[in-house]
Amino acid sequence: MPAFDAVVWEWIVFSVLVVVLLTLDLLVFHRHDHVPTLRESVWWTIFWIGTGLAFNAVIWWWKGHEAGITFLSAFLIEKSLSMDNIFVFVVIFRFFAVPLMYQYRVLFWGILGAIGMRLAFILAGVELIHRFDWVAPLFGAFLVYTAYKLARHSGAEVHPENNPVLRMARRFLRITRGDHHQYGHAFFAREGGRLCITPMFLALLVIESTDVVFAVDSVPAVIGIIPKTFTPSQTMFIAFSSNVFAILGLRALYFLLAGMVDRFRCLHYGLAAVLGFVGLKMIAEHWLQVKLAPWVSLLVVAGLLAVSIVVSLLVKPGADNEGPAEGD
């Protein structure tokens, strides 16, 4: 059994670190709206990945190699699954005609909501698995089913206009008639003396509600990659911290890759294979008592993703694929 347990002070230190990073990101580094350049996006992507790997190194040194390898596997899975989010974000921003200079702020607040949502999902999922043994194979079967669906559809069929949260907001909330050019990045504005929500807030609602679907897929996958020998507190800490560091860099990754999502045409097959592998792993661990070492899981996940990325780059994009709109 691993020789560490996540105690209260470690959660406090981790939470303070995340709050500091988010505060610096919004109030210092990106306090002014602007269109990120390719160079800027590259450096911020490197920074956020480097921050996650630095935290991984601390986990490895402080908690041991098993915890370090497990964190790296969970981080890699969540980072890879976030690639599927990017295409959806492109469609949502195009639907609401959000200018490129305002998209970063929407994603920032969307990530704040995603962090809270992932925490709730992880706490509930880990508690269920450790209280009821039969939940693990159910999660595994769900991941296998999700893998099958993802392999058949790359996520191109996204229809924000059918989002139930958007429909409810349009029905029950007052929406401004002015566009982004009038209200900028504001989520609320007054028209005719009444407080209204702006199209920016509608875009945020759709992104937040869409993340529920992503969390339902990714949280079981991250929990499933963690060895059953870990205690509930260990599993929660590894799963949540790896999730947070993976999604913190999602905004920079979005601006880096949004213009070339069509180049990763085969990535969803790799993601499906990863979900299927984790699902089968959870089922085999429960019914067949098969135990895979963390480094084996890491190699399998990394190998599946690497193959799908290489194949994607070798396959010539179709002529009918479109790049992201800049919201004009």
Q: Kindly report the number of other CB atoms within 10 A of residue 91's CB atom.
A: 20
* Separation of alpha carbons 97 and 109, rounded Å: 18
Query: How much is the pLDDT for 108?
Result: 86
Three-class SS state of 157: coil
Number of H helices, E strands in the chain: 12, 2
Q: What is the chain's alpha carbon radius of gyration, rounded to the nearest angstrom?
A: 20
pTM greater than the 0.75 cutoff: yes
Query: How much is the pLDDT for 266?
Result: 74
Three-class SS state of 174: coil
Going by C-beta distance under 8 Å and a sequence separation of 6 or more, which residues neighbour residue 11? 237
Whether 298 and 69 have beta carbons less than 8 Å apart is answered as yes
158: left (phi over 0), alpha (psi -120 to 50) or beta: beta
Nearest to 249 by CA among 106, 13, 79, 109: 79
* Separation of alpha carbons 213 and 194, rounded Å: 33
* Separation of alpha carbons 47 and 96, rounded Å: 30
- Which tokens is 32 given? 């002014």
Going by C-beta distance under 8 Å and a sequence separation of 6 or more, which residues neighbour residue 23? none
Whether 220 and 139 have beta carbons less than 8 Å apart is answered as yes
Neighbour-count burial of 165, counting CB atoms closer than 10 A to its CB (0-12 exposed, 13-18 middle, 19+ buried): middle
Three-class SS state of 188: strand
Nearest to 243 by CA among 101, 105, 34, 82: 82
Query: How much is the pLDDT for 325?
Result: 42
- Which tokens is 172 given? 């029950």
Residue type, 160: P
pLDDT per position in the chain (328 positions), as tens?
444 555 778 888 899 999 998 888 777 776 677 777 778 888 888 999 999 999 999 999 888 888 999 999 999 988 888 777 777 888 888 888 888 888 888 888 888 888 888 889 898 988 888 888 788 888 889 889 888 888 876 554 567 777 888 889 888 888 887 666 666 778 888 887 788 888 888 889 988 888 887 788 788 888 888 888 888 888 899 999 999 998 888 888 888 776 666 677 777 788 888 888 888 888 888 777 778 778 888 888 889 888 888 887 777 655 444 444 444 3
Contacts 24+ apart (CB under 8 A), 289-293: 291/227, 291/228
Three-class SS state of 195: strand
